[in-house]
Structure 1
Amino acid sequence: MNQDYIKPDNWSIIEEGFDPEQVKSSESLFSLGNGAMGQRANFEERYTGSTFQGSYIAGVYYPDKTRVGWWKNGYPEYFAKVLNAPSWIGIDVEINGEVLDLNTCKSVSDFRRELNMKEGWYQRTFKATLPNGIQIDVNVLRFLSLVQDELGAIRYSVTPLNKAAEVVFKPYLDSGIKNEDSNWDDQFWNTTEVLSEGRQAFIEAHTMKTHFETCTFMDNLLFKGGEEQETEPELNQEPLKVTHSYAVRAEKGEAVQLVKFAGYTVSRNHKADALIQAAKETLSMARDKGFDQLLAEQADAWAKIWEMSDITIKGDQKAQQGIRFNIFHLNQTYLGTDSRLNIGPKGFTGEKYGGSTYWDTEAYCIPFYMATKDHHVARNLLQYRYNQLDKAIENAEKLGFENGAALYPMVTMNGEECHNEWEITFEEIHRNGAIAFAIYNYYRYTGDYSYIPEMGLEVLIGIARFWYQRATFSKFRNKYVILGVTGPNEYENNVNNNWYTNYTARWCIQYALEQIQKVKEGYPEDHGRIMGHTKLTAAELEGWSTVAENLYFPRSEEYNIYLQQDGFLDKELVTVEDLDRSNRPINQKWSWDRILRSPYIKQADVLQGFYFFEDHFTLDELERHFDFYEPFTVHESSLSPCVHSIQAAKLDRMDQAYQFYLRTSRLDLDDYNKEVEEGLHITSMAGTWMSVVEGFGGMRIRDDKLSFNPRIPEEWESYSFKINFRSRIITVNVTKSGSSFELEGAEEMSIRVNGKRLVLNSNAVTYA
């Protein structure tokens, strides 16, 4: 049974009623982020119940020494930890000397949380009776500013309900923080200064080993009856913590408030010796504007984001809530303004997985950012990989490859591989293909070819060299084979000739060869520079062609399908439907040995190839492969339902497409995988967007033009979305009776809808 305590709502995530069993899950679901930092929805006041504290700074990490039982040559030296940063949100509250703690209160009622996705804020309200008998009403509102991304703001209001009381607010900063997933219980942070100046306080700390310098800061304002109080705080300063205390008497029914401005300045953006000064400038701006103006600016900033990225669904509130939840968290995680950053699989919502970059970015996220933002945002994501090409070559060298062969990491912070499960680190090499595919996909969608001669061709050459060297000639088959790999289906390790890996390898080599020729003809200067740098020879290129033209693809003549890998048909082919439900999820119920011997597929594998390279296959071929592989797929990866939803829609199996859509859009809201307390599945959220736009909307690029084949689930009255295609904004609206398209731009453009040409006129609605 999935969790169902989140209330359906078009624009908000709402929880009503206090349940300690849901606290950690809600801390994930109600998380905030602004691209530069993030915060789980931990309580500001003290809470002695089960909780997972989490504050995060983009790009700041710690290289936690690898911990494995059996060291293998080539293992990464460290696993990059997404760091739990010094905490800035804390506000202990005392009422007549009694500490407010929802875990020890006599009663808690009217508890409500709301994450307002439309305006970008999080609010928590409740009534509580403390052990000393005092009843209070609490209202807390928090946001992380999009306008000033080093700043967070909290307004914490307390109203005594049954008698007058002395309320003491104790806002603090705390750098005595540890990660829950530390390998060795190392100290990740070294605190160098704890400073208090009037109502402001600062903690300077740097990460061990990586030496990211940070300043965590706060400034506090006290209000009574709406009037700011001039009370100076009492100071309690410790080696790793600084606390300010503000005492104020509140009459029965009278609200008193603490406004806390806080956040981080970081050496990634400022000189290390100027972090406190930068923090003071941020706090001065916050004080000048005040909480209400900052909150209004937050709403305006989110309005601009939603203007382009919103998807509206009429007639299905859960589906509407799900897609907006996904879009909201994608924008909280990455806004595209900094090419040094990327999209971690947990974003700012948890520590699991480590690293900030997986192949998820290229395979799932880039389409979302290309279509909902300026193309420079996606270009930044591609530039990120170009900037790390030297590290990718080093990664390959550690595994024995040479001559500039590049193996991009499965998990990384700075371009180095930092994932240390052998079946992933050494074998899940298909990730290289997603990098190359993203370059192709970016040009196909944006029409911006300049990335390839400037940066992308060198990436493609490094990847092609890797595939050329990774292939082995089999005399037995008289073909080139790729041995000892893990495909996208991580429930199969160390297999030979994973079809998706082999097919991607061939495509990467062929695409690199095409682009070398294209750059030679159209960009001779860039071609000369790249050839000189890479020292490519005609003989090497001929070798590439030989491998690509003679790669082996496992196939079953009986089923008339490509096999996921050699020996797949040796398995006991019991479908998921015939698997006892008590065995699910198999990753929690079965031994790894049993999983590896089973036919069960974690996520799209062969079907991932049919998604990427759909133009290479007929609809009949897709149908055969879908009908064979989907019944064995357990969808125990967050990346699985979206691909299947898109393909089911293409096959016009709308009931199935809709069920997959619900699963991907509400994966975390309904906690399908029973792990949401560890953090959200950020990168798969981009797949949810694709399920609507590419699945139901049928959006593709055909012959360098936009093409749509719209379908609508039975449960929906209508849906609409916008896309930015080559700097022209198109609004697509689909109902049960048909579809319409509206173009923003000075010139008309032609598209194809259901295979027919349709001309869109500027600022006019055109019906298909």
Structure 2
Amino acid sequence: MNQDYIKPDNWSIIEEGFNVDHVKSSESIFSIGNGAMGQRANFEEYYSGPTFQGSYIAGVYYPDKTRVGWWKNGYPEYFAKVLNAPNWIGINVTINGEQLDLFNCKAVTDFKRELNMKEGWLSRYFTATLQNDIQIQVKTKRFLSLTIDEIGAIKYEIMPLNSDADIVLEPYLDSGITNEDTNWDDKFWDTLEVNHEGKQAFIVSKTMKTDFHTCTFMESNIFLNEAPVSITPKRVTDSNYISLSYKAQVNKGDSYTIHKFGGYTVDRNHPKDKLVSAAQNVLKKATTLGFDGLLDTQKQAWSHIWDMADITIGGDIKAQQGIRFNIFQLNQTYLGKDSRLNIGPKGFTGEKYGGSTYWDTEAYCIPFYMATKDQQVARSLLEYRYNHLEKAIENAEKLGFNNGAALYPMVTMNGEECHNEWEITFEEIHRNGAIAFAIYNYHRYTGDYSYIPEKGLEVLIGIARFWQQRATFSKDKNKYVILGVTGPNEYENNVNNNWYTNYLAQWCINYTLETIEKVETEYPNDYSRIADKIQLQKEELEQWERVTKNIYLPFSEKYNIYLQQDGFLDKELITVSDLDTSQRPINQKWSWDRILRSPYIKQADTLQGFYFFEDRFTQEELERHFDFYEPFTVHESSLSPCVHSIQAAKLDRMEQAYTFYLRTSRLDLDDYNKEVHEGLHITSMAGTWMSIVEGFGGMRVKNNSLHFEPKIPKQWENYSFKVNFRNRILKVNVTQKQTQFEMISGEPLEFFVNNSPLLLQKEQLLALN
């Protein structure tokens, strides 16, 4: 049974009624962010019930020492953790001497929480009866500014309903926080100074080991019945804490309100000794605008994002809510402003996966950012990997590779491997191929080749060198094999000849060889620079060719399919439909030993290869492999349903495609995997976008041209999306009867619909039945 307390709505995520069992899940679902920082939807006031406090700053992390039973050569020394940052949102509320705490109130009624995705704010409304029988009404609204991304704003309004009351509003900063996720319970933060100036307060702190310096700051204004009032605050400080409390006698039916501005300045962006003055500058900008003025800029910024990124769905409110939630959270996590940053699987919504970068970025996120933003955003994601190339070479050297072979980390903050599971860290090497594929995919979609001679070719050569050295020549098979790997299906470790990994290795080497030839011919200066820098020799390329021409790809003559890996057919091939539902999810019900010996597939593995390289296989081959592997797939990875939805749509299995789409789009809203309290699945949200645009819309780039094969689920009346293809904005609207294409801006575009060519001029609209 999935959770179902989130109310269906086109533009908002809404929770009605206060339930303590929903608090931690809602803290994830109602999270807010602005690309530079983010926070779980914790209450501003004190809450003594089960809660997961979380505020996070992009790029600020701690190297938590790896916890293993015994050490192995080459093992990562630490697992980087995104840090729970000092808390600036807190506002203690006291009424007639009693602290407001929803967990201990006599009654909480009319509770409503709303995340307005159209305008980018979070609100709460409730009526509460305290133990002292005072009844109050509370309204809150908060957001993290997109336009001034170091600051957030809170409006907190309280009204006594049944008597006059003495009310204290106590905004505070607290750097004495801990991580929910920690290996050794280390102290992550060291507070350096706590100070104040008038209505402003500051805590300067630094991370242990990584030495990130931050200033957490706040300033508050007080209002009675919306008129500003001057109250001299009472100050409380200790070594990690500062509060400024504002006390007022409030008549029954009057409103007492605080506007609190707060956030972080970080030494990633400012000199260490200028963090407080930088915070003062930010506060001046925000308070000059005021809460309402800053909120207006927020609405405008989100309107601009939605104008390009929105997907509309008619006739299916849950599907509409799901896709907008996914698009909203992706934009809250990463906006492409800072090439030092990337997209963590949980974004700013939790601590699992450490806030680090995985292969999810290249395999799932780049298509979304290429099509919904300027191509520079996707290019920044590619540059992130180029900037970490030396670290990738170091990672490979630690494992015994040489000559500039590069193994990009499975998990990273700064380019160094920081994952602490051997079978993932050293066996799931297919992530190298996803990084190479992203370079190819970027050029294929944007038409911008300049990145490759400038930076991309060096990355490709490092990856090709790795694959050539990682392959082993088998005399028995008279082929090159790749041993001891984990494919995308993490329910099988240390397998030999995972088809997806072998195929990807072969493709990477071939693509790199083609690219070297093109750059040498067309960009000779860049080629000479690179060849001299990395000592590229023709003899080396001949070694690569020997591997790629003779790589082993496991195949079953019986089923006429590529085998996921050697020995897959030795398993007891019981399909998921024949598995007792009480055994699901198997990752929570079975031992790891039992999972590894089973045929069950966590996510697309062989089919991931068919997704990347669809144009290299026939429709019949896709159908054969889909029919064989999908029945064994348990979809216990958030990355699984989207690939299967796209392929089911390609195969005209629209009911199955729709089911997979709904699962991926509402994975967190409906908590399919029973883990949303840990945070959201941000990177898989890009797969939801792909399910519509590439799945139902059938968008592909073939032979340097844009193609569509539009289809529509029977549950929908219509759907529409926009894509930015080579600086042309194209809108696609699909109904049950026709498809419309409209050129919003840019030069004329020739594209293909169901393989028939069309030419579209600026502001022209074409309708096809």
TM range (shorter): over 0.9
The match for 1:576 is 576
Bigger CA drift: 354-363 or 494-503?
A: 354-363
Q: Decide whether the 8 Å contact of 1:343 with 1:683 is kept in 2.
A: yes
Alpha-carbon distance in 1 for matches of 2:738, 2:400: 57
The match for 2:82 is 82
- What letter matches 2:371 in structure 1? A
- What's the offset of the Cα at 1:764? 1.2
The match for 1:480 is 480
Deviations along 1:702-730, one digit per CA (max 9) or x if unpaired, are 11111000000000000000000000000
The match for 1:631 is 631
Q: Decide whether the 8 Å contact of 1:355 with 1:411 is kept in 2.
A: no
Alpha-carbon distance in 1 for matches of 2:612, 2:748: 30
Matched, 1:390 2:393: no
Matched, 1:217 2:197: no
Deviations along 1:596-621, one digit per CA (max 9) or x if unpaired, are 00000000000000000001100000
The match for 2:423 is 423
The match for 1:531 is 531
Deviations along 1:397-437, one digit per CA (max 9) or x if unpaired, are 00000000000000000000000101001100000000000
The match for 1:3 is 3
Deviations along 1:212-234, one digit per CA (max 9) or x if unpaired, are 00000000111001111111110
Q: Decide whether the 8 Å contact of 1:718 with 1:733 is kept in 2.
A: yes
Matched, 1:622 2:622: yes
Deviations along 1:177-228, one digit per CA (max 9) or x if unpaired, are 1101111111000000000111110000000000000000000111001111
- What letter matches 1:45 in structure 2? E
- What letter matches 1:605 in structure 2? D
1:394-413 to structure 2, matched below 5 A, reads 394-413=394-413
Alpha-carbon distance in 1 for matches of 2:8, 2:622: 35
Alpha-carbon distance in 2 for matches of 1:745, 1:116: 29
Q: 1:599 aligns to what SS in structure 2? A: coil
Q: What is the TM-score when the length of structure 2 is the normalising length? A: 1.00
Alpha-carbon distance in 2 for matches of 1:278, 1:563: 58
The match for 1:321 is 321
Alpha-carbon distance in 1 for matches of 2:140, 2:540: 64
Q: Decide whether the 8 Å contact of 1:198 with 1:232 is kept in 2.
A: no
- What's the offset of the Cα at 1:355? 4.2
Alpha-carbon distance in 1 for matches of 2:226, 2:494: 66
Q: Decide whether the 8 Å contact of 2:392 with 2:409 is kept in 1.
A: yes
The match for 1:249 is 249
Deviations along 1:298-320, one digit per CA (max 9) or x if unpaired, are 00000000000000000000000
Structure 2 unmatched ranges of 5 or more? none
Q: Decide whether the 8 Å contact of 2:346 with 2:355 is kept in 1.
A: no
Q: Decide whether the 8 Å contact of 2:727 with 2:746 is kept in 1.
A: no
- What's the offset of the Cα at 1:80? 0.2
Q: Decide whether the 8 Å contact of 2:347 with 2:355 is kept in 1.
A: no
Q: Decide whether the 8 Å contact of 2:163 with 2:251 is kept in 1.
A: yes
Matched, 1:613 2:601: no
Q: Decide whether the 8 Å contact of 2:311 with 2:720 is kept in 1.
A: yes
Q: Decide whether the 8 Å contact of 1:59 with 1:356 is kept in 2.
A: no
- What letter matches 2:730 in structure 1? I
1:326-337 to structure 2, matched below 5 A, reads 326-337=326-337
The match for 2:231 is 231
Deviations along 1:495-546, one digit per CA (max 9) or x if unpaired, are 0000000000000000000000000010000000000011111111000001
1:351-390 to structure 2, matched below 5 A, reads 351-390=351-390
- What's the offset of the Cα at 1:356? 2.1
Q: What is the TM-score when the length of structure 1 is the normalising length? A: 1.00
Q: Decide whether the 8 Å contact of 2:728 with 2:747 is kept in 1.
A: no
Matched, 1:667 2:667: yes
Alpha-carbon distance in 2 for matches of 1:761, 1:288: 45
The match for 2:558 is 558
Alpha-carbon distance in 2 for matches of 1:327, 1:356: 20
The match for 2:339 is 339
The match for 2:735 is 735
- What letter matches 1:428 in structure 2? E
- What's the offset of the Cα at 1:286? 1.2
Q: Decide whether the 8 Å contact of 1:646 with 1:691 is kept in 2.
A: yes
Alpha-carbon distance in 1 for matches of 2:232, 2:398: 59
Q: 2:254 aligns to what SS in structure 1? A: coil
- What letter matches 1:339 in structure 2? S
- The runs of at least 4 consecutive aligned structure 1 residues that moved more than 4 Å come to none
The match for 1:309 is 309
Q: 1:204 aligns to what SS in structure 2? A: strand
Alpha-carbon distance in 1 for matches of 2:393, 2:735: 50
Q: Decide whether the 8 Å contact of 2:368 with 2:686 is kept in 1.
A: yes
Matched, 1:593 2:600: no
1:403-482 to structure 2, matched below 5 A, reads 403-482=403-482
The match for 1:520 is 520
Q: 1:559 aligns to what SS in structure 2? A: coil
Alpha-carbon distance in 2 for matches of 1:200, 1:577: 61
Alpha-carbon distance in 2 for matches of 1:294, 1:642: 37
- What's the offset of the Cα at 1:744? 2.4
- What's the offset of the Cα at 1:687? 0.3
Q: Decide whether the 8 Å contact of 1:84 with 1:177 is kept in 2.
A: yes
1:25-424 to structure 2, matched below 5 A, reads 25-424=25-424
Alpha-carbon distance in 2 for matches of 1:530, 1:360: 28
- What's the offset of the Cα at 1:759? 1.1
Deviations along 1:618-660, one digit per CA (max 9) or x if unpaired, are 0000000000000000000000000000000000000000000
- What's the offset of the Cα at 1:746? 4.9
Deviations along 1:231-284, one digit per CA (max 9) or x if unpaired, are 111000010000111001111111110110000000000000000000001111
The match for 2:755 is 755
Bigger CA drift: 104-113 or 243-252?
A: 243-252
Alpha-carbon distance in 2 for matches of 1:42, 1:745: 42
- What's the offset of the Cα at 1:745? 3.0
Q: Decide whether the 8 Å contact of 1:453 with 1:523 is kept in 2.
A: yes
How many equivalent pairs are there? 768
Superposed CA RMSD: 0.5
Q: 1:354 aligns to what SS in structure 2? A: helix
Q: 2:352 aligns to what SS in structure 1? A: coil
Alpha-carbon distance in 2 for matches of 1:44, 1:97: 18
Q: 2:670 aligns to what SS in structure 1? A: coil
Deviations along 1:436-474, one digit per CA (max 9) or x if unpaired, are 000000000000000000000000000000000000000
Identity %: 73
Structure 1 unmatched ranges of 5 or more? none
Q: Decide whether the 8 Å contact of 2:729 with 2:746 is kept in 1.
A: no
- What's the offset of the Cα at 1:488? 0.1
Alpha-carbon distance in 1 for matches of 2:176, 2:161: 35
Bigger CA drift: 736-745 or 708-717?
A: 736-745
Q: 2:354 aligns to what SS in structure 1? A: coil
Q: 1:216 aligns to what SS in structure 2? A: strand
Alpha-carbon distance in 1 for matches of 2:745, 2:251: 59
Alpha-carbon distance in 2 for matches of 1:487, 1:747: 42
Q: 2:596 aligns to what SS in structure 1? A: helix
Alpha-carbon distance in 2 for matches of 1:426, 1:257: 55
Alpha-carbon distance in 2 for matches of 1:702, 1:457: 22
Q: 1:353 aligns to what SS in structure 2? A: helix
Alpha-carbon distance in 1 for matches of 2:705, 2:766: 17
Q: Decide whether the 8 Å contact of 1:393 with 1:407 is kept in 2.
A: yes
Q: 1:607 aligns to what SS in structure 2? A: helix
Deviations along 1:36-61, one digit per CA (max 9) or x if unpaired, are 00010000000000000000000000
The match for 1:676 is 676
Q: 1:758 aligns to what SS in structure 2? A: strand
Alpha-carbon distance in 1 for matches of 2:250, 2:285: 29
Q: 1:195 aligns to what SS in structure 2? A: strand
Deviations along 1:53-108, one digit per CA (max 9) or x if unpaired, are 00000000000011101211111010000100000000000001110000100000
Alpha-carbon distance in 1 for matches of 2:584, 2:390: 43
